[in-house]
Chains A and B, each alone.
Chain A
Amino acid sequence: MTMIEVKDLSKVYGSGETKVIALDSVNLTIEQGQFVAVMGPSGCGKSTLLHLIGGLDRPTTGTVTVEGKDISKMSDTTLTELRRRKMGFIFQFYNLIPVLDAVENTALPLILDGVKPETARIKAKEWLTRNKLEDRGSHRPDELSGGQQQRVAISRAMVADPVIVLADEPTGNLDSRSGDEIASVLRKIVSDWGRTVLMVTHDPRIAAYADRIIFLKDGRIVDDALLSGDNGDNAKRLKEKVEAL
């Protein structure tokens, strides 16, 4: 099933002299249950793509369709609701509300959605437990390590049962070991829970957890590599590419 469909998506910042084309008619289809990594040099438009898909920003031209619905023309209210119910976000920095503890931070999307606080707390704790943070529930973010904070963020992203999880350099701030932890949690989200994950990263190691890597350069997709599937399959695909030489 197609989860995300991006058509002729462009994003232009500024105008005239200072015009920056962050995305240049990008076309992309992402299936449900796929773990997609987006890679590319700095400034190539990775974050922009993620933001547009997440409905955090509006495209200059083109459309983004999530679960068959075009989100580029939705009102702010509908979009906000969509983000709340269908999407989970994980960012590199400033992920958590500093004055709330881990459980409260995790429960935030549910509470925002009007779920009863007790129910929200229970679900939040479940997710924290899955991410091995059961004993850190009452800690505030400044009492957690970077990796733990990021796992709280993942719990929060997952707590409202979103269909899509968007992560912008979720391991950018972590050492390789914590980075691996985060990546394997994301992997599980896809493998065990069937969610669709779109992740921006600079780290090949982390990207290798994904099923598919999209390479961006200067706002265009320059390469799209499938990593999963058995060796024969992959070899065949490679061969196709070679033939295209």
Chain B
Amino acid sequence: MRIQILLAWRYLLGRKQRMALTTLAVVFGVTLLFGMNAMIPAMMEAFRHNMVTAAGKVDISISGDSNNPFDEASLDALKDIGGISHSTGLLQKNVLLPESLGGTTDPIAGASAVTVTGLDIPTAQSVRNFQIKEGRFLEAADGSETVISQLLADKMSLTVGDTLSIPSSDGIEKLTVVGILSLSASAGLDEIFVPLATSQRILNLPDKINTIDILIRSDADRLTVENEILSKLGPNFKSGPVEVGNELASALIMGESMMWLFGIMALAMASFIIFNTFRTVIAERRRDLGMLRAIGASKRTVMGLILTESLIQGVVGTALGLMFGYLMCLGLLASFGPMLQSFMRVSVGGPVITTANLVGSILLGIGFTVGSGYFPARSAMKITPLEALRPSLGAAEFRKNKRRALWGLAMVAASVFGLVIGELNVAALSTLVFLAGLIMIAPVMVKPVADTFGKLISLVYAREGRLAQGNLARQPGRAAITASSMMIGLAICIAMIGMITSILNGFIGYLDKSLGTDYLLMPSSLVLGGGNLGANQGLIDRIRNTDGVEAATSLRLAASQTKGAALQMIGIDPEVYPQISGLAFSNGDPATAYPALANGRSIIVNGMFATSAAIKTGDVLTLKTPQGDQVYNVVGVAFDYLNAKIATGYISQANLATDFNASSDVLLLVNRKTNSNNSAVLSALKAIAKDFPAFSLIDSTEFKNEQINMFKQAMSTLYVLVVMLALPGLIAMANTMSINIIERTREIGMLRAVGTTQTQVKRMVFAESLLLSALGTTMGILVGLFLSYLLLKALIFIGFTVDFFFPATGILMSVAVGLTFGIIAAMVPARTAARTVIVEALRYE
């Protein structure tokens, strides 16, 4: 082992530049992988922190199976269970505190949300222990009184007698603080307690509770009691507290897997680069290795040497990658933070390093490096001692290439066919096949492409162009691999840019369509489920009665589950909603779908859900409701802008009220009469909104612009990603060029000796590099077109109907990037080559 490490280390140090470039590729992949994935949990954490701050220690907590509220009457079922000593019903919900009511996203200075817990005062105290530090506890006669936790009191500087205002379904609820709970009390951080009736009013859930807390007798077995309770209550209950934010979590998890994908793509490129480097390294060291074999190094030693070398690079690269990844995450969070704060009302902390991410990044980083060193190492193992003594034979490569190219061609043909079929999975597979096929064709493409572009270059540099052309064609395998890694980078570039332009265009259309109203009353958080408090009928009535308002409609919200996955339920008014706003349909007919919602249990699902659960129009869905399972008919696949990213079903508000006990308006859409005065209506609405601080009034045009800006901003970070993904291609090119130069030192010395000028040598190197990038660009454009088409297909599949925009910008950019890369990659090697000292070059072995 020692000898491998010694040799590996020496060889690496002997070629510092190359080692740096190769390692950089690994660093890059790991940075993306680790950094991105440290960001997602940080965001998750932030949301979670915001949503589940309530905590209480009880023996058993029972809640609705789909986290929806249920009837107070359910408590009666528990009366004659022997094992229960005490039980109490609670209504608990996170309520965001708007800034106008003293809310802040700074977790130290205040609270962005409070958890309102409605207590049945007589029974609550027997189940939970409330220790009063100041003032008194709630009493049966209390109405607008509250008891708050010490921490919240400190943060918001409240004392007994002060008033705490929180949003409520009919506007604002002014609560008088009558007691402060000591720190040790079993209360969540920002929990406030009110009488049950009060909470039911605030949340617009009359006679509803969502949690039952239970203490069991000391002699009873917890599990038996729990089972007994659940069987008494029926199938719609579960043990455990209310879970919030499930829908959002799944969206974030999807984001997380996207990041893994990106990271792995970057690593795959890195492994291309490493593979390329090692192949070259082994070609260069054939004699050394053969000599080692001759003097008694075993096959395993030789293989171990190469593997050790890749291991060292993998370890160094991964370590650096983890570091840079952390820094990148910090940077991204810092730049995204303000945006999240204003739109989602959460503050994101520092990067969160999960074990999975850490271990995964390390394993993938080192694994990819060593893995891509493996095949070259195997071929190194096969080097016979004789190769130290005989000149190696180079010509045999060509015929094998041709056969491989035929295979590649067949694969490309098959993949095009696969794309035409129109099945998403097949298409995705086809992309991989297409890529692999192209990589196999690449070696034979080297010569024709070199010839074609060589002619162009020869127009400018007549002699050097010819030489470069020959040089490139001499090592088709290496040129092909280099071009391949560049190809992947550029293909992603083109595909992404194509997708971005397509989406941007489609998005603006959607925004117009699904937010086609004049005014919006938006909840505090754009994610509807995230702790927003709905309004009762009072708000919409007031708006409808305002002068100049033509129509108003609302979205209501509940949660459900089907097929084991969370589903966000949105209640719409099937008559008014389509007139004011409207869903964008990708399947089904709006003309029949809306009326269907009004008649019986019908549902429209969004594309995201339809894809993940494989649902189409005409299917039936069994949804969990607080009243038990209900069967809904799917009448269409469509989405509104706000809920595109979360699995969502749209049903009528009537059904939402009966099946899900939800009748609060979470978002209101308002249209103005055409002949009315905008500013007059606006100010009238503003006055109303003032009474409902949970809502903010938004002029749609303004909002749309804001959204488009935000979207563009998000897309620009994607551009950054795109550039980052293309970068390894540059590294690969620079790497190959320097290797080519190192290898040809002798030859260049010879050229210089017979009278080639430094400028000519430089030009030769530049020409070669340009040819190489031309090859990569050509292939990249092909794959990019393929890929962008596929991505759009995928988008259509999950519900966005986007027209294919030919990524002309992307292609132009790629050509520009290709040329630039070609030049940048050649800069250092060209200088090295030009400076070659003739005598030394001729001595070089």
Contact = CB atoms under 8 A, between A and B. Distances in A.
- Chains A, B in direct contact (C-beta < 8 Å): yes
Interface of A: 47, 51, 54, 56-57, 76-77, 80-81, 83-85, 87-89, 91, 93-95, 97-100, 104, 108-109, 111-113, 117, 142, 156-157, 160, 168
B804 interface: no
Given A83-B294, A89-B294, A99-B14, A112 B3 contact: yes
B295 A112 contact: yes
Given A80-B297, A87-B296, 12 more contacts: A54-B294, A56-B385, A80-B299, A83-B294, A83-B385, A84-B297, A94-B288, A94-B845, A99-B10, A108-B295, A112-B297, A117-B2
Given A100-B10, A112-B3, A83 B295 contact: yes
A94 B292 CA distance: 11
A84 B388 CA distance: 16
B298 to A, nearest CB: 5
B406 interface: no
Given A51-B389, A80-B298, A111 B292 contact: no
Contact of A100 (B7, B294, B301, B388): B7
Contact of B295 (A47, A76, A84, A104): A84
A26 B553 CA distance: 103
B253 interface: no
A80 B299 CA distance: 9
Contacts of A111: 2-3, 6
With a 10 A CB-CB cut-off, give which of A54, A108, A109, A156 has the most chain B CB atoms.
A108
Contacts of B291: 91, 94-95, 97
Interface string B282-295: 00000110011111
A105 B715 CA distance: 56
B714 interface: no
Interface string B385-400: 1101100000000000
Contacts of B389: 47, 51, 56, 91, 168
Contacts of A87: 296
A76 B299 contact: yes
Q: How many B residues are at the interface, by size bracket?
A: 20 to 34
Contacts of A80: 293, 296-299
B391 to A, nearest CB: 10
Contacts of B296: 80-81, 83-85, 87, 109, 112-113, 160
Contacts of B2: 111, 117
Contact of B294 (A56, A76, A85, A99): A56
19 contacts: A51-B386, A51-B389, A77-B298, A80-B299, A81-B296, A84-B295, A91-B291, A91-B389, A94-B288, A94-B291, A97-B292, A99-B10, A99-B14, A109-B295, A112-B3, A112-B297, A112-B298, A113-B296, A142-B845
Contacts of A51: 386, 389
B559 to A, nearest CB: 65
A56 B386 contact: yes
Nearest to A50: B389
Contact of B845 (A47, A98, A100, A109): A98
Contacts of A109: 295-296
Contacts of B806: none
A1 to B, nearest CB: 23
B392 to A, nearest CB: 11
Contact of A98 (B14, B297, B301): B14
With a 10 A CB-CB cut-off, give which of B2, B293, B386, B389 has the most chain A CB atoms.
B389
A138 to B, nearest CB: 13
Contacts of B6: 100, 104, 111
Contacts of A89: 294-295
Contacts of B261: none
Contacts of B7: 97, 99-100
B13 interface: yes
B387 to A, nearest CB: 10
Contact of B384 (A56, A97, A112): A56
Interface string B335-364: 000000000000000000000000000000
A117 B2 CA distance: 9
Nearest to A76: B299
A112 B301 contact: yes
A216 to B, nearest CB: 17
Contacts of A98: 14, 288, 845
Contacts of A99: 7, 10-11, 13-14
Nearest to B288: A97
Contacts of B13: 99
B284 to A, nearest CB: 10
A151 B14 CA distance: 23
Contacts of B297: 80, 84, 112
Nearest to B12: A99
Nearest to A113: B296
B291 to A, nearest CB: 6
Nearest to B301: A112
A58 to B, nearest CB: 10
With a 10 A CB-CB cut-off, give which of A77, A99, A168 has the most chain B CB atoms.
A99
Interface in B2-54: 2-3, 6-7, 10-11, 13-14
A7 B389 CA distance: 24
A83 B297 CA distance: 9
